Structure 1
């Protein structure tokens, strides 16, 4: 017979092992994404210096969120979330592997890149949502903020530091090399969750019939927009996604044209955002505890807005790198706090649907923002895009400040109630 202590020890060991495997998957997937988000724009710039060519790339990458996001969310409440991660990463690996071969043989055109990016982004939705909604099944709610901080820190380092640095170096060697490395890393991202044991298909309530996909999607949307705090944060995220997408879509062109950087140093510039991101991911839980949820989120947006405007005022690479690092701090503080908030407040049986309803606003605005920024930059200048994005972020937070403060206090009261219930001995 197993003792209680042994059972607790076994549970702790399994939890640690599963989290470690999720970390390996996160590290591989996010380094591959960092490589892709730098190597693909570098490939575009090697063909065309038009802002619209770059913004089209970014728009196509995120367009699947508008078309497929809520459907994928509903499917994540039906499918085994672990297997969904495995299959999505494998599809992405095959796609980018084929792109690497095409580039190596001199066929790497925009006509080939654009459709691959669209399918690549579609599979990314499945992987990303499955990853987010699988985690609460692996660890207790009280550890979500800490583990999320760890995983998001890994995400930021991979996407914004290691990936861009490698992309710049590898692209300088040969244009196909970063894409071959991406394919290998995505295979690792498929294998790691495959080794986690268990069935992670959500189960409907006993005796309940499974409704149609359309009805489940509507249920997720209704739940989100009925929740006062999440509803308003989702709207804010939609606006921030629109503005941020325009800035990020044009950063490679900004680095090459305004800062005069080579492809290798462009990777270094993009990696600077990760330095601030690491700091943001490490301090996010402490910032929320010290300032409260509402004030912490407000400060994060102010930091992002002011730093974004700073891009328009400099052509000095070091200053631009510092500014990008500062935006990384604000972005990661915002992301970690709001991620833990969603995971804690959304019931598991509808987590996938509500997550993608939320992200439909966050990422669905990205292709629109990227396209708008490309047009504004074409008609005016890159500096105009940065100034407008920064000012509008500050206007947004001024309008939502009071509501965030009130809603944040309600969320913290909910956390205290949950902690008290979890601390009480079972009756």
Structure 2
């Protein structure tokens, strides 16, 4: 199925951006270790990054619905690229403060929110409605390859040569993504918005979008299921490294291999998601994918065999990819163009909250019960999400509620 030249530019932009994300995943923590020996400051970097993204999610959703989405995408990537290039310059000439790294990383997180929201919102304008599943599958495939396979080892290799080299490469890749997005057609807030009329304030528009989401049964259900699925994911994955080292008796290198092998399941999921959705519809594709997620986590809770664990994790990533593609495509079909940014932001807030709660619960269960307890809890939560998904009534194109 040919998706067109505009989608190809979006795909290339995502490829460069995802590769940069993969490099950043390894490079930024390594830079932090080079700048400070404080575990609290190193761990706090990820916390600050996550909290910053959570705080700006809703207002960014409003601006994605107000402004030209192409401009937002290339500008956000260019700005985070330049911020990292500037950080690389400081690393080449000396040792910047850890607080400079905090500021740059939080700024990169804000720009990532802008770019991600606008990319999800613009996709339905670039391909036909019946191509959404296929388009999202292509994007998921390049994300897995660039972010999971290519990016982390390349980041580690470049950092081994020079910290500044790894950081400047990451920034340059974001700048290349900006160039690809600059070539996209201009896509504003959609035909339902009269740009000549005075617009309400930012928070009034945010409330309008959230109220629409709360009043739309299917979108509200999707947001709730997404939050529960993120909670179910983070409960076991927050302690997965301990499970691998202590229950599976893997080395640090073995843990890295386990994650790399498990990512192969995501490539399979991206390849089959569109055809599975066409056969089963959205409701049963999402429900059955979460049944698979539940079964894999419950199975992991019982195993101490690394090979079995690798297979189960690959199946888990397969389920997560299929679910994500189906849920994203359905949301893109149901939400009007002028509300995509705000509804994505509302769903994202719930998902980030689910991740935060899941991490806290996973730590408590592992500390008070056992390393297997978070896996069992995640499996049960996915089973509940699977049942909830069967309540969805839409299995194909449907007009959004007014």
State TM-score, norm by structure 2. 0.84
Q: Distance in 1 between matches of 2:226 and 2:169?
A: 32
Counterpart in the other structure of 1:399 = 384
Structure 2 match to 1:134: 122
Shift of 1:351: 1.3
Counterpart among 379, 387, 404 of residue 373 in structure 2? 387
Q: Secondary structure at the match of 1:210?
A: coil
User: Which deviates the most, 159-168 or 219-228?
Assistant: 159-168
Q: Is the 8 A contact 1:170 1:177 kept in 2?
A: yes
Task: Give the C-alpha shift of residue 337 in structure 1.
Answer: 0.2
Shift of 1:118: 1.8
TM-score after normalising by structure 1: 0.80
For 2:101 and 2:27, the matched residues in 1 are separated by 11
Of 64, 69, 84 in structure 2, the residue corresponding to residue 96 of structure 1 is: 84
Q: Tell me: CA distance 1:123–1:327, structure 2 relative to 1, closer, same or farther (3 Å).
A: same
Query: 1:259 corresponds to which residue?
Result: 250
Query: Distance in 1 between the 2:45 and 2:357 partners?
Result: 12
**Given the alignment, which residue of 270, 282, 289 partners 2:278?**
289
Aligned-partner Cα distance in 2 for 1:147–1:154: 11
Q: Indicate the residue corresponding to 1:157 in structure 2.
A: 145
Q: Distance in 2 between matches of 1:314 and 1:173?
A: 39
Report how far residue 67 of structure 1 moved: 0.9
Pair 1:55–1:395, CA change in 2 (3 A): farther
**Aligned residue for 2:226?**
237
Q: State whether structure 2 residue 394 is matched by structure 1 residue 411.
A: yes
Q: 1:272 to 1:400 in 2, by over 3 A?
A: closer
Moved more, 297-306 or 216-225: 297-306
Q: Deviations over 1:247-276 (max 9, x none)?
A: 5566667778863224xx765444334311
> What CA distance in whole angstroms lies between the structure 1 residues aligned with 2:202 and 2:150?
39
Change (3 A) 1:188 1:80: same
Shift of 1:325: 2.3
**d(CA) in 2 for partners of 1:393, 1:55:** 24
Which residue of 2 is the match for residue 339 of structure 1? 328
Contact 2:189 2:337 in 1 (8 A): no
Match of 1:351 in 2: 340
Residue 197 of structure 2 corresponds to residue 211 of structure 1: no
Q: For residues 220 and 129 of structure 1, do their structure 2 counterparts lie closer, same or farther at Cα, with a shift above 3 Å needed?
A: same
Note the C-alpha offset of 1:237: 1.6
Aligned to 1:58: 46
Identify the range of structure 1 (81-90 vs 158-167) with the bigger mean alpha-carbon deviation: 158-167
Give the distance between the partners of 1:146 and 1:205, measured in 2 at CA: 32
Deviation of residue 21 (structure 1)? 0.6
Q: Deviations over 1:167-202 (max 9, x none)?
A: 343344444443222111101111101122435354
Of residues 217-226 and 303-312 in structure 1, the stretch that sits farther from structure 2 once superposed is 303-312
The equivalent of 1:326 in structure 2 is: 315
Corresponding residue SS for 1:200: coil
Structure 1 residues 181 and 318: alpha-carbon distance in aligned structure 2, compared to 1, 3 A threshold: farther
More displaced 10-residue stretch of structure 1: 228-237 or 200-209: 200-209
Alpha-carbon separation, structure 1, partners of 2:351 and 2:258: 25
Contact 1:164 1:268 in 2 (8 A): no
Q: For the residues of structure 1 that align with 2:357 and 2:68, how far apart are their CA atoms?
A: 32
Report deviation, 1:246. Answer: 5.6
How many pairs are equivalent? Answer: 395
Rounded Cα–Cα distance in structure 1 between residues aligned with 2:175 and 2:159:
21
**8 Å Cα contact 1:280/1:329 also seen in 2:** yes
Aligned mates of 2:120, 2:151 — CA distance in 1: 21
State whether residues 67 and 189 of structure 2, in contact with CA within 8 Å, keep that contact through their aligned partners in structure 1.
Answer: yes
2:99 is the alignment partner of 1:114: no
What is the CA–CA distance in structure 2 between the aligned matches of 1:253 and 1:114, rounded to whole Å? 27
2:14 corresponds to 1:26: yes
